Amino acid sequence: MTKFIKKINTINEKIDNRIVQEQVKELNKIVKTVALKQVLAKAPDRLGLYPDEIEEIVNNNFKDVKTINHLLNSTRQFLSLKFGIWSLPNLTTAKLIRKEFKIKTAVEIMAGNAYWTKALNEAGIQTIATDSLEWAKTSSTGQNQFSRVENLSATDAIKKYNKVDLIFCSWSPNFGRSDLEVINTWKKYNPQAHLLFVCEKNGATNSPDFWKLTHFKKTPELAKINQSFVSYDFIDEKIFEIDEL
């Protein structure tokens, strides 16, 4: 962590540009918050420079600008390697999920290190984190949990906690059919619950068949929630609600 942050801050001082300074300040805030196992109050501001911004800044510092832009764009990867998280929850979004969908209880499946569970709990939703924990056996971040995680597969968790108001899944794998198995299990055991996925459509998350075969709800409530969950990088991350059709 020290090397990544130190390099960004060193180049930032060298470039001495307002746009870069603001983004580096935002990145430092994100890393500090996550390191303290706290939750951001709101979605982070954008990281990474647009082409016209690079042209404006570059002058004689092309190499430095290119390097710092690469580092800013690598923030999500850095967070995954250092803390075992791919998605950054925020309290504004978590509170809107509670308010707009009138959620009192939830289970997070495939929770990983359960950062979203922490956010949902802090927002006033009684949330249980579950994961098969297979990945944790070989990952250096496997013991870096933000909330306690119960060792359960996604489908077993849905079966066990079949009275909750919300089933929540963030960054399901983009291979296999585990996401479709989740939907089928939800339909059978707890169809009255809201089923939300945090993902990128046809991108970094979820299986190709998930995007081909699944029906999604489009509601004013979900639109309001997603207005508070703007992606901070080139991953077009959004919250999707599954329709029972």
Residue pLDDT, tens place only, 110-163: 999 999 999 999 999 999 999 998 866 667 777 889 999 999 999 999 999 999
- Higher-scoring residue by pLDDT: 31, 16: 31
Q: What angle do CA 221, 27, 234 make, to 5 degrees?
A: 55
pLDDT band at 72; cut points 50, 70, 90: very high
Residues 129 and 213 in one domain: yes
Same domain flag for 110 and 172 = yes
Statement to judge: residues 206 and 122 lie in one domain: yes
Q: d(Cα 203, Cα 201) in Å, to the nearest integer?
A: 5
Same structural domain for residues 71 and 123? no
Of 57, 83, 109, the position where a domain reaches its end is 83
**pLDDT value at position 48?**
96
Residue 109, both tokens: 């499946």
**What's the pLDDT score for residue 207?**
97
Do 165 and 207 sit in the same domain of this protein?
yes
Identify whether residues 55 and 145 lie together within a single domain: no
Residue 69 pLDDT > 80, yes or no?
yes
Higher-pLDDT residue of 116, 245: 116
Q: What angle do CA 77, 78, 80 make, to 5 degrees?
A: 65
18 in the same domain as 136 = no
Average pLDDT of span 195-199: 98
pTM of the model: 0.95
What's the CATH code of the domain at 115? 3.40.50.150
| Cβ proximity of 147 and 156 under 8 Å | no
Is the same domain home to 26 and 43? yes
Per-residue pLDDT tens for 85-108? 999 999 999 999 999 999 999 999
Residue 41 and residue 99 in one domain: no
Does the pLDDT at position 2 exceed 80? no
In whole angstroms, what is the distance from residue 18 CA to residue 136 CA? 40
Residues 133, 173 within the same domain = yes
Predicted local confidence at residue 60, as pLDDT: 63
- Report how far residue 214's alpha carbon sits from residue 210's, in angstroms, rounded to the nearest whole number: 6
In this prediction, residue 75 carries a pLDDT of 97
Among residues 83, 100, 127, the one where a domain terminates is 83
Distance CA 98, CA 8 (A): 37
Q: How far apart are CA 225 and CA 238, in angstroms?
A: 9
Whether 235 and 135 map to the same domain: the answer is: yes
Domain final position from 65, 83, 101 = 83
pLDDT for residue 136:
65
* Number of structural domains found in the chain: 2
Average pLDDT over residues 194-220: 97
More confident residue, 52 or 189: 189
| pLDDT, mean of residues 163-174 | 97
Strands 149-151 and 126-131: parallel
Report the DSSP pairing between strands 237-242 and 194-200.
antiparallel
**C-alpha neighbours within 13 Å on the C-beta side of residue 110:** 21
The residue segments making up the domain with residue 58 are 2-83
Q: What percent of the chain has pLDDT over 90?
A: 87
Q: What single-letter amino acid sits at 105?
A: T
Give me the DSSP letters along 30-48. HHHHHHTT--BSSPPPP-S
User: Is the domain of 120 the same as that of 237?
Assistant: yes
Instruction: Output the pLDDT for position 144.
Output: 87
Q: What is the reported pLDDT for 133?
A: 86
First to last CA, the chain: 45
Mean pLDDT of the chain: 94
Cβ contact 121:150 at 8 Å: no
